[in-house]
């Protein structure tokens, strides 16, 4: 199965390089035609590698849940993002991500669309009123620029892999918001931090180089964004999110806490201060145990038969312009 995905990935990439002249257009199509997870990351639990991957809570992989995640393709206005969307559809990568989420067999009360669309701003959202996740393709473009401007001499393929992995982290982050809302999960601190933790735990418990790299690259993206806000007046102290640099340290603390031997260089190079590092093992264990306890009671052990046909997207292909104000709901 992994060979099949690599074949599809390489074939589509070759086609794009020949037919698309824009660097950014190639970048975006590369990311999503690479199934949002270079080396088949999102397929790790739902295909032949499942036996070697860390398992979700008992009985989580069972029959079809009451509600399920599915992929929808939302509004686009520009040819650039239309090409982006076509590449994603053709790859089937997003659908594999939804299959991965559904493999946990959580008792969702409704079907939850994960919508890829052009938003006019670099963000991603969970919208409680509509019970939907929206991933703005604009955000992936922003990540490409962020990594490219930081190290312009980095090979394009390396940048695309990094950004694809960060995009996957974002999708898991927004999925966390959806689960908190739909399953009425108790959260006593910042929800934004909690769902960062969920995305981190899911990826680190997969125990492979690519999934660990996804957390590292998400941390790097926070560090780079934090560097762009060096002036005090640019730092959103009021925001519901922790500061970018705080999110960076939280992620690398989890990485180190999960495997201190492998990631000892984070402390040796003073990337992670020793005063924080000594707590990271206990911090990660607490995050893991907390999310297992929160979700284990929501595993659907006796699912009812249902029509498993994927719901059709109801989003128009040529919608009216979007308003410029921020989207309602929980954002990235």
The model's pLDDT over 126-163, given as tens digits with 9 standing for 90+, comes to 999 999 999 999 999 999 999 999 999 999 889 989 99
CA–CA separation, 172 vs 218, rounded Å? 12
Q: Using alpha carbons, select from 116, 172, 156, 157 the residue that is nearest to residue 140.
A: 116
In this structure, are residues 81 and 87 in contact, taking their beta carbons and an 8 Å threshold? no
In this structure, are residues 174 and 192 in contact, taking their beta carbons and an 8 Å threshold? no
Q: In this predicted model, what pLDDT tens digit does every residue of 165-176 receive, in sequence order?
A: 999 999 999 999
Q: Using alpha carbons, select from 172, 269, 151 the residue that is nearest to residue 220.
A: 151
Model-level pTM? 0.75
CA–CA separation, 201 vs 197, rounded Å? 6
In this structure, are residues 183 and 153 in contact, taking their beta carbons and an 8 Å threshold? no
Q: Of 213-217, 301-305, 322-326, give the range with the top mean pLDDT.
A: 213-217
Q: Which residues contact 187 (CB under 8 A, 6 or more apart)?
A: 180, 194
Average pLDDT on 66-72 reads 93
């Amino acid at each position: 199965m992994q060979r099949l995905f690599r074949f599809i990935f390489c074939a589509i990439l070759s086609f794009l390089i020949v037919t698309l002249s824009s660097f950014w257009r190639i970048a975006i199509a590369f990311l999503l035609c690479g199934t949002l997870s270079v080396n088949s990351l999102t397929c790790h639990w739902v295909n032949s590698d499942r036996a070697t991957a860390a398992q979700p809570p008992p009985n989580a992989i069972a029959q079809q849940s009451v509600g399920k995640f599915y992929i929808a393709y939302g509004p686009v206005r520009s040819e650039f993002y239309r090409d982006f969307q076509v590449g994603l559809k053709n790859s089937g990568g997003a659908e594999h991500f939804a299959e991965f989420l559904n493999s946990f067999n959580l008792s969702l009360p409704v079907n939850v669309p994960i919508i890829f669309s052009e938003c006019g701003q670099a963000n991603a959202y969970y919208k409680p009123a509509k019970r939907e996740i929206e991933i703005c393709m604009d955000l992936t473009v922003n990540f490409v620029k962020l990594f490219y401007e930081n190290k312009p001499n980095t090979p394009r393929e390396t940048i695309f892999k990094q950004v694809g992995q960060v995009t996957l982290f974002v999708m898991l982050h927004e999925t966390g918001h959806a689960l908190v809302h739909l399953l009425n999960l108790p959260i006593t601190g910042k929800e934004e931090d909690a769902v960062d933790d969920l995305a981190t735990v899911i990826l680190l418990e997969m125990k492979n180089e690519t999934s660990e790299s996804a957390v590292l690259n998400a941390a790097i993206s926070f560090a780079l964004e934090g560097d762009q806000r060096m002036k005090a007046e640019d730092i959103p102290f009021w925001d519901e999110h922790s500061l970018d640099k705080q999110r960076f340290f939280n992620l690398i603390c989890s990485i180190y806490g999960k495997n201190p031997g492998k990631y000892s260089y984070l402390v040796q190079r003073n990337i992670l201060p020793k005063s924080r590092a000594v707590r990271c093992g206990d911090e990660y264990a607490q995050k893991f145990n907390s999310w297992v306890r929160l979700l284990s009671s929501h595993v659907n052990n006796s699912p009812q038969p249902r029509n498993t046909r994927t719901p059709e997207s109801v989003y128009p292909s040529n919608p009216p312009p979007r308003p410029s104000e921020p989207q309602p709901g929980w954002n990235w």
